[in-house]
Amino acid sequence: MSLKQNWSDLEIRVRDLSPSEGLAFLADLFPGKVVFSTSLGQEDQVITQLIASQNLPIRIFSLDTGRLFPETLELLARTEAKYKTRIKVYYPERDSVETWVAKNGINGFYESVENRKSCCYVRKVEPLKRALAGNEIWVTGLRAEQSANRSGMKKIEWDESNQIIKYNPLLDWSFDEMIAYIDGHKIPYNTLHDQGFISIGCAPCTRAILPGEDARAGRWWWEDSKKECGLHSK
């Protein structure tokens, strides 16, 4: 049976497992083929702690777009030091970035949704495809309550674009549950969260949210869209 045909059966087997149990189960079932993509957000920091505390053979990687906040990069270093691990960092292809900037300008992503999505593709989607190549399970920090687009997701899904099974262990966690876990386990987090930044991406594309705003409102705040970059589109 192919990997694509196998994912729905896997979803049933993982559905009722805790995040800790699910990660261990998949790491054992797919040895050397499970990877976790961290953007250093609060959800991702929880998963990093779960992987490190069990010493699971899950490779952790991150994408450095070249436009990240200094606080995000500082957190990456603190996380590696705390959990005595190395997070593999993937960068955009130099020629692709230079070509995009030459055509659109350094901040051309503000001009249209199409420009913004093409920038995300060059800086995030293409490096992600390289990071996922050859693997069978992609672990993410998605939570259902983050956005309408994510509310219909399942813990185990087939990602057609990357031809890989995606595992969302924290999908049914609430924001309060996540914060309680971070506080209880003294997990390092981005200091920008204390300044009203909930979902943190590239610096030019992220702002703090206002009281009552959706958690994703601070991402690509100048446009009306699904607030996705293409990594987790349905």
The secondary structure of 15-39 as a DSSP string is TTS-HHHHHHHHHHHSTT-EEEE--
Helices (H), the chain: 3-14, 19-29, 42-54, 70-83, 94-104, 113-120, 126-132, 148-151, 175-184
Q: 49 in the Ramachandran plot: left (φ > 0), alpha (ψ -120 to 50) or beta?
A: alpha
Residue 63 lies in a domain: yes
CA 197 – CA 207 distance, rounded (Å): 6
Domain that holds residue 189: 3-194
What are 76-116's pLDDT values in tens digits?
A: 999 999 999 999 999 999 999 999 999 999 999 999 999 99
pLDDT of residue 101: 98
Q: For residue 6, report the phi and psi dihedrals to the nearest 5 degrees.
A: -85, -20
Residue 133 lies in a domain: yes
Taken as a whole, the chain contains a residue count of 234
Least confident of 38-52, 107-121, 133-147, 219-233: 219-233
User: Is pLDDT of 149 > 70?
Assistant: no
pLDDT of residue 229: 59
Residue 215 lies in a domain: no
Residue 199 lies in a domain: no
Tokens, residue 18: 């805790």
User: Is pLDDT of 54 > 60?
Assistant: yes
Question: What average pLDDT is seen over the chain?
Answer: 92
Percent of the chain whose pLDDT exceeds 70? 92
Choosing from 119, 120, 205, 229, the catalytic residue is 229
Residue 211 lies in a domain: no
Q: Which residues contact 209 (CB under 8 A, 6 or more apart)?
A: 196, 197, 198, 215, 217, 218
What pTM value is reported for the model?
0.91
Residue 39 lies in a domain: yes
Residue 209 lies in a domain: no
Residue 11 is part of a domain; what is its CATH number? 3.40.50.620
Burial of residue 212 (CB within 10 Å: 0-12, 13-18, 19+) is exposed
pLDDT of residue 233: 57
User: Is pLDDT of 151 > 80?
Assistant: no
Compute, in degrees rounded to 10, the torsion defined by CA atoms 93, 99, 105, 106. 20
Q: Which residues contact 17 (CB under 8 A, 6 or more apart)?
A: 25
Give the residue among 152, 176, 141 at the shortest CA–CA distance from 62: 141
Residue 228 lies in a domain: no
What are 191-230's pLDDT values in tens digits?
A: 999 999 999 999 999 999 988 888 888 999 999 865 555 5
Q: Is 229 tagged catalytic?
A: yes
Mean pLDDT score, 176-199: 96
Domain tally, the chain: 1
Least confident of 115-119, 150-154, 193-197, 228-232: 228-232
